[in-house]
Amino acid sequence: MQLLTLRRAWLAPLVFFQCYLGLTVVLFFFGPWPWEDPHPLLLVSYLLSAQAVIAVGYGMSWTSVRNSMLTPAQREAEIERTIGFLRRALLVTLILLIPTSLSRTGAVLPDVLEGLRDTGGAYNRNLARLDEGNAYQIVEYLRIAVAPYLMAVFPLTVVLWGRLSSHFRWMACLAIVFNLAIYIATGTNKGFADFVVTLPWLVFLGVVAKTLRFRIPRSVLIPVFILLFFLFLQFFGMGQAQREGGVGELGVINTGSGLLFADPQHPVSRMLGDAGRITFESITRYIGQGYYALTMAFDIDYHSTLGFGSSMFIARNADAVFGTTAFTAGSLPGMLEEQTGWGMYTLWHSIYPWLASDFGFSGALVVLGGFAYLLGMSWGRSLTTLGAPWLLMTFMMIVLFFYIPANNQIFQSAETCVAFFMVAAQLLWRRRSRALLEGGVAQAAGPGA
């Protein structure tokens, strides 16, 4: 791969996420929801500072990416190791397909038709089922133990599609479609959303890395991605229209201290039909509420949760271990709920209050810059090496950055949180092993070498 080609491809996520995050800020201030922002200038300054920090952190990764280019033989060996990892991942995933469906839908096979027919009802019924207790909870613990394998099948299959046999592709597609069917059957947006927002990036990565070759022209491929996005919007809109309480249909959000209604006379809302209006108001509600929580959190007097409060999963387990509620209730989202009624688990806060619970608002920007560095390095090294750990880290960081306006997504659930630390540990181990190997070679060569 030419260095210029690598640099252009490496810059693509940075450019995209700068535009995306800028758009979310515009929708917060000029969308259909009349958020009563007590600190508009402070909020704008903070969010613009966050984007500047992201740019700096991402840019700092270029040297590492540039120095990671391999010889053809080294790269081929790395691809073979990644394919071997993918084979193990697919085996584990196929073994857990039915148990996962039992745990997450209550049935051997997910009822996709019911999820499409009554999306909101399916979501509400599944929540009620889980509230009564999950008889297959052990499956969730098994999934946590093998989380990197379960996460790997979709991104690695897409990127390495051109290097896989037809039989393997069919089996991988079965696993991917089955997993999506579970989300659709339960009326849950997340799985479909993650698939839609990451698929174009994985395809782009595979095309640039030359492991994915399309006979379909770009003029056809791009409309296909657009159509997929609109299918997601349709699914999302149906779910919101049928959600309990009529939040989508009525254009209302319960802030904990009262009801907030969207403006039905907003120019965009008036241009759309009723279904389009529900989708538009619901998306802007999802995006805007996190920034609204952030601006309220600026007024909260809090103490650090010492590395435990920035993740729902870690905070809950820390509370269980230490017999306290300090790490959940003492986090910024927890204190915001106590003081304003803004739900810690029922509403979004953006990534910033979660990180600020441990690191303060200034420290949250530093951590976000670290994530940007990790995104830039993992994306770049995925392009140059196609190593499985780098591809997995890329997938997780893309998801994390898409959810910045909502929450600290990767660290909120057990499966993705554990997967992150397992993959990070593997990358650190490989780096240490490489450093020791290079040091041993240098020592054996002697001072005169």
* Residue 373: partners with Cβ closer than 8 Å, 6 or more residues away: 57, 58, 60, 61
Tens digits of residue pLDDT in 43-94: 999 999 999 999 999 999 999 999 999 999 999 999 999 999 999 999 999 9
* Residue 162: partners with Cβ closer than 8 Å, 6 or more residues away: 206, 210, 211, 212, 213
Res 302: pLDDT: 87
Question: What b/e sequence results for 227-262 when a residue is b if at least 16 CB atoms lie within 10 Å of its CB, and e otherwise?
Answer: eeeeebbebbbbbbbbbeeebbbebbbebeeeebeb
Q: What is the CA radius of gyration of the chain?
A: 23
Res 325: pLDDT: 92
Q: Are the CB atoms for 184 and 192 separated by under 8 Å?
A: yes
Q: How far apart are CA 300 and CA 359, in angstroms?
A: 14
- In which residue are the tokens 């993959």 written? 423
Res 273: pLDDT: 77
Tens digits of residue pLDDT in 172-222: 999 999 999 999 898 887 888 888 889 989 999 999 999 987 655 656 556
- The pLDDT of 122-126, averaged and rounded, is 85
Q: Is the pTM of this model over 0.85?
A: yes
- The pLDDT of 131-160, averaged and rounded, is 95
Work out the pLDDT band at 442, boundaries 50, 70, 90.
Answer: very low
Res 220: pLDDT: 58
Angle between helices 189-209 and 351-385 (to 10 degrees): 30
